[in-house]
Structure 1
């Protein structure tokens, strides 16, 4: 189950007024699919919100795994993230260049390791720039501090656990990939993976919970999005996607609706699609 947080989102106005506060820690959690051929680090160095540090999704991960950006150990996480200035008492605000995309994954990971006061910047750097707000290209050295990382494994599901839920309907499984991939009509962007979806899962494409400007939709609109896909907001939910990134966008949307009986399938389709003995469904 995902723990409750008092402020899952903050606005650009809120962040602009809070910059400089002692406990505030701003992270750029931008990540892009390899096919996009974008360098998130270079983009961060060229322009970022004042005092922001770069959270490298592919480096702050289990480097022993063949799967992309899987959860690291608590020791590794604490060492790498405390070096970014994140402390036990920090209010962390995470943004990305897309609006709400990989920032949601970073927030989920921070909370998985025990940080409660973590927010996503609604609309991200995209909205920040559209409003003409200041960005910087000079590096800043963060203040190191104490970070006590303790994994909350109840927030995550493994492939065998998802398989069990698929069979016994103990939880609804929501897939955040686009409909073409979910239905098995489009090839997966990662080589060697089967096409299709987890049996008995429902497709809630992550972009359907977002507005055109990259901000999260209103609670009324979000309720309609989930209802249209047959999601029961009173029952447990496991979210999945291609590699555990946009699954976190759905969790963010669900949390704003007060639904915290949720978990994320960390391996997602990068794992399931490669497990030859695991079932798939295709439309």
Structure 2
């Protein structure tokens, strides 16, 4: 697949060339682990790619759930996007400050809502700034536009569906966490969670899909990383991680290699690891 694909991934060169397109909408989806104590909204307000809107992953979520940043209802998503001036007919580019970390979560949310015209900025804000490209601290001009949502149920799995998949082996469960967290040798960053992984899962740490500069590997590199992690690319995949953020890096990478039969376990280990009745395994896959 060519690097610049408006439905998956675009380069900083592509974004610079299209920056003034009237129907382009840029989204800053930066997010950090709670322990980092960073104010993403303040960082966005201080510096962002020109015209970018801020997407609050924790706020644009299901407030009824006790789990962090679960996918919002279609109604809430539509309402928040209208308030951001993002709607039908827009080409959306989403980025984060880390390179490729949290932006794929928002890419996946748009696709979950049936919006396919969204791409992640390869290398994110870090690459954009390193190249000396323009940034600003101005708020975007918001123009209301309606968004039609067509919820894609097949793209998200709940704990019951994942438990069945683990038992029956119909799906490959692929965990994006670091190898030490997957194996259970490192404690979980969230209090109260057991250490380990879903039985039968394999481990593809999301960073193995990225180059040293934070860009995504090419198709051959992605396939090699999945194969090295024990993924059978002939089987459908359920992607999991700590709380549903980096699982979406796996989803983006799978889409980049032309594999479309994938879903995200939205509750991920934050849910599975907190339920005493759910079985766990430890050790490498």
Q: What TM-score, normalized by structure 2, do the two folds share?
A: 0.96
Report deviation, 1:6. Answer: 5.7
Q: Residues of 1 paired with 2:84 and 2:13: CA distance?
A: 24
Matches within 5 A, 1:66-215: 66-215=66-215
Report deviation, 1:141. Answer: 2.4
Structure 1: gaps of 5 or more residues: none
Q: Residues of 2 paired with 1:7 and 1:113: CA distance?
A: 14
Structure 1 segments of 4+ aligned residues over 6 angstroms from their partners: none
RMSD of aligned residue pairs (Cα, Å): 1.0
Q: Over residues 12-71 of structure 1, what are the superposed CA-to-partner deviations in whole Å (9 max), with x where a residue is unaligned?
A: 011011012111100000000011111111110110000000000000001111100001
Q: Residues of 2 paired with 1:147 and 1:222: CA distance?
A: 33
Partner SS state of residue 163, structure 1? helix
Q: Residues of 2 paired with 1:41 and 1:77: CA distance?
A: 19
Report deviation, 1:150. Answer: 2.7
Q: How many residues align?
A: 279
Match of 1:274 in 2: 274
Partner SS state of residue 181, structure 2? helix
Match of 1:56 in 2: 56
Partner SS state of residue 49, structure 2? coil
Structure 2: gaps of 5 or more residues: none
Q: Residues of 1 paired with 2:22 and 2:190: CA distance?
A: 42
Q: Over residues 187-221 of structure 1, what are the superposed CA-to-partner deviations in whole Å (9 max), with x where a residue is unaligned?
A: 11111111110000000000000011110001111
Match of 1:228 in 2: 228
Q: What TM-score, normalized by structure 1, do the two folds share?
A: 0.97
Q: Residues of 2 paired with 1:173 and 1:154: CA distance?
A: 15
Q: Over residues 212-252 of structure 1, what are the superposed CA-to-partner deviations in whole Å (9 max), with x where a residue is unaligned?
A: 11100011111111111111111100000000000000111
Q: Do the aligned residues in 1 keep the contact of 2:6 with 2:119 (CA within 8 Å)?
A: no
